[in-house]
Structure 1
Amino acid sequence: MTPEQKQALQEHIQAIAKILYEDTSPERLTSLAGIEEAVRSQMQKHIMPEVGGFFIETVTGTRTGYKRRLKSILGELPITSKQAQQLEVPARNQLSPYLEICCLRVSANVTYEDAAADIEYFTGVQVSRSSQQRLVHRQNFELPTQEDLVEELSVDGGNIRVRTTEGEICAWLGYKAISLHHNGMVGTSFQDNQVVIDWVNHQPLASTVTCVGDGHDGIWKIVDQLAPDVQRREVLDWFHLIENLHKVGGSLKRLKQAQSLLWKGQLDATIALFTNCKGKQAQNFCHYLDKHRDRIINYEYHQAEEICSIGSGSVESAVKQVDRRTKISGAQWKRENVPQVLAHRCAYLNGLLSV
C-alpha cells in the first residue's frame, strides 16, 4: 500500500467511524466490551458486506445470475449464482465456507446448542442449533492418508451411550480407535472394525510395523488383520501389564521382583515366582502372561535402543479426546448418527477442519 493509499484509507476510515458512532446508542458504549460488540455489529451490518461484495465482484469479474445472500463472518454477504459457481460455493448453502468451518470446529467440541451460542458470541452471527447439526450430517468426513511410512500404531476402544426404544435402559455400545504414532492421526469405527482395518492397510506401511495394545481380545483380533504377520511387531502395553501384575497383590517384594523380570522380558522366570501361589488372581495373571507370551518383549532393551514404543498412550489419549465430545454429561446418541459424530470428532483431531 502506497503512502497516498494509506492516507486516503485513513480519511475514509475516520469518516465511516464518525457515521457509525453517531448511529450507535450511547448505552452500548459504556465499556470496552460494549464498544467492541457495537463496532463489530455495525461493521457487519453496513461495511463488511459491501467490502466483501466488492471483492467478490472484482475477483469473479461478473455480477450476473440469481442474487442471494450468505451468512458470513462478514455479515449478510451478497453473491450471485455465477459468482458462487466460480468461487465453488454450493447452490443451496446458506452459510459461507469459512463460517461453516467455524461451526464444524466448535461443534466438534461441544453440544450443538452450545456451539450455536459460542458461534454467535465469537463471530456475531446466529447459526441455530438445528443448522449446526444439519451441517455436520451433510459432511463427508473421510479418514486421512499419511504420506510418511507408518512404523507404529496403537489400538484401543471406547463406549458410547446409544438411545433405545422408550422404556428401555440406554445401551453402551463400543467403538474402536487406532492411532498412527508420530503424526498422531486417529481413525475410529463404530460396531464395524473393518473400517479402521481397511484404513490402516491402505496407509504406506513400513517394513516392520509395531502394534501396541492392552490385553483385551478384541484389540488383538483387529491387530491380527493389520499388515502381514511377517511385517508386524506386536507389543503388549507395558503399563497395562504392570497394572495387571499389581492386581495379584500379596508380597510387595515378590511384585517388585516380578516387575524387574518383566521389564527385561524374562517371562518364564516371572511365572515361576507365582507357581506356588494358589490365589485366583495369581493364577489369572500367569494365564495372562502365557496368553500374551509373544507380545511381551524386553522392554528395557527396546526403550533404551529406541526400537519402538512400549505403551499405547497415543491411542488412549485419542480415545479420551473423542470421549470429550461423545460423553458430554447426559449425552445420548441415535445409533445411526454415531458414525458421523465419531468421524466429525476425528476430522477435528486430525486437523482437517480448516479452510
Structure 2
Amino acid sequence: MNAQQTKRLQACVQEISEILYQNTPPEDLTTLEGIEKAVRGHMLTEISPRVGLFFVKTITGTAQGKTRTLKSCIGELKLKAQQLQRLGINARSRVSPLFETCCLRVCANASYAHAQEDLKLLLGMEAAHSSLHRCVARQDLNLPEPNEIIQSMSLDGGKVRLRSPQIGEPSYWRDYKAACRNEHWVGAYFQDNLSLSDWVNAQPLDYPLVCLGDGHAGIWKLFGDIATSDQRLEILDWYHLKENLFKVGGSLKRILKAETFLWYGLVDAVLDLFKDSQLKEAQNFCAYLMGHTSRIVNYAYFQSMTLMPIPIGSGSVESAVKRIEQRLQLTGAQWNPGNVNQMLTLRCHYLSGSLNSS
C-alpha cells in the first residue's frame, strides 16, 4: 500500500467511524468492552461482509446464479451460486471453510452447548448447538497422518460412557484404544483394534520400530498386529515397571538393588533377589517379570544414546488419553455408540495440530 492509498484509506475509515458512532447507543459505549462489542458488531453486519463480497466478486469475475447465505468469520456473506462454484464451495454449504474450522476446534474442546457460547464470544457469530453437532457429524474425517517416518509407537486404553439404548437403563462404560506415534501424532478407535493397526501400518515405519506399552496383555496383543515381529523393538514402560517394583514392599535395600538391576535389564538377577520371598506381592512381581522378559531391555544403554535416544516410557500416549477424555468424559456426558469414533477422530486431529487453519 503506497502513501496515497494509505491517506485515502484513513479518510474513508474516519468517515465510516463517524457514521457507525452516530448509530451506536451511548449506553453501549461506557466501557472498553462495550466499545469492542459495538465496533465488532458493526464490522460483522455492515462493513466486513461488503468488503468480503467485493473481494469475491472481483476474484471470481461473476455475480450470476441463485443467492446463498453463508456464515463466515467476517459476517454473513450473500454469495451467488457461480461464485461458490468457482471458489470450490459446495452449493449446499451454509458455512465458510474458516468458520467451519473454528466450529470444529471449539467442538473438539467443549460440549456443543458450551461451543455455541464460545463461538459467540470469540467470533461474534452464532451457531446453534444442534448445528454444531451436525457440522461434526457430516465431516468425512480420517485420523491424522504425519509426513514422517514413524520411529516409535506407544499404545494405551481409555474409557467412554455410553447411553443405554433402553430408556431408564443406566449408562455403561466401554474401552477404546489410542496410539501415539513419534510422541506427537495421536490416533484412537472405539472398539475397532483392526482399524487402529491398519492406520499405523499404512504409514512408513522405521526399522526397528520402537513399541512402548505397560504390562496390560491387550496392549501387546494389539502390537502383534503392527509391523512384523522382526521389525518391532518391544519395550516395557520403565516407569510402569518401576511402579510395580515398589508395590512389592519389604526391604527397601532389596527394592533399590532390584531397581538397579532392572535399569540394566538384568531380569535374572532380580528374580534371584526375590526367589526366597514369601510375599505374595513379590511372587506376583516375579510372574510379571517372566511374562515380559523379552521387553525388559537395557534402559541405561538406550538413555545414554546421544544421537538418537530411544524412549523408555509411554507417557506421551497416557497424556493423550487423558486429553482425549477431557472431551469424552465431560461431567454427565453419555455418548451414542455411533458418535464416539467421530468425536475421537476430531479430538485426535485437534491434539495433533491438524485442525489449525493453513
Measured against the shorter chain, the TM-score band is: over 0.9
Q: Deviations over 1:195-245 (max 9, x none)?
A: 110011111011210100000011000111111111110000000001111
Long gaps (5+) in structure 1: none
Equivalent residue, structure 2, for 1:72: 72
Equivalent residue, structure 1, for 2:338: 336
TM-score (norm 1): 0.98
Within 2, Cα distance between the matches of 1:56 and 1:40? 21
User: For 1:345, which of 344, 347, 350 is the aligned residue?
Assistant: 347
Within 1, Cα distance between the matches of 2:195 and 2:337? 17
Equivalent residue, structure 1, for 2:153: 153
Contact 1:70 1:76 in 2 (8 A): yes
Contact 1:116 1:128 in 2 (8 A): yes
How large is the RMSD of aligned CA atoms in angstroms?
Answer: 1.0
User: Helix, strand or coil: the match of 1:77?
Assistant: strand
Equivalent residue, structure 2, for 1:279: 279
Range with greater deviation from structure 2 (165-174 or 92-101): 165-174
Q: Deviations over 1:138-158 (max 9, x none)?
A: 101112333221111111110
Q: Deviations over 1:86-117 (max 9, x none)?
A: 11111121111111111100110011000000
Range with greater deviation from structure 2 (111-120 or 164-173): 164-173
> How far off its partner does 1:76 sit?
1.3
Within 2, Cα distance between the matches of 1:121 and 1:29? 18
> How far off its partner does 1:307 sit?
4.3
Equivalent residue, structure 2, for 1:177: 178
Q: Taking structure 1 as reference, are residues 354 and 89 closer, same or farther at Cα in structure 2, changes over 3 Å only?
A: farther
> How far off its partner does 1:274 sit?
1.1
Range with greater deviation from structure 2 (298-307 or 6-15): 298-307
Residue identity matched to 1:171: Y
Residue identity matched to 1:72: S
Residue identity matched to 2:354: L
User: Helix, strand or coil: the match of 2:198?
Assistant: helix
> How far off its partner does 1:133 sit?
0.7
Instruction: Write out aligned runs for 1:185-334 (5 A).
Output: 185-305=185-305, 306-334=308-336
Within 2, Cα distance between the matches of 1:253 and 1:350? 43
User: Helix, strand or coil: the match of 1:229?
Assistant: coil
Within 2, Cα distance between the matches of 1:324 and 1:342? 11
Residue identity matched to 1:325: R
Contact 2:144 2:348 in 1 (8 A): no
Residue identity matched to 1:175: Y
Equivalent residue, structure 1, for 2:94: 94
Instruction: Write out aligned runs for 1:48-87 (5 A).
Output: 48-87=48-87
Within 2, Cα distance between the matches of 1:352 and 1:289? 39
Equivalent residue, structure 2, for 1:167: 168
Residue identity matched to 2:168: G
TM-score (norm 2): 0.97
User: Helix, strand or coil: the match of 1:230?
Assistant: coil
Contact 2:324 2:347 in 1 (8 A): yes
Long gaps (5+) in structure 2: none
Residue identity matched to 2:330: I
Q: Percent identity?
A: 48
User: Helix, strand or coil: the match of 1:54?
Assistant: helix
Within 2, Cα distance between the matches of 1:37 and 1:221? 56
Within 2, Cα distance between the matches of 1:39 and 1:256? 66
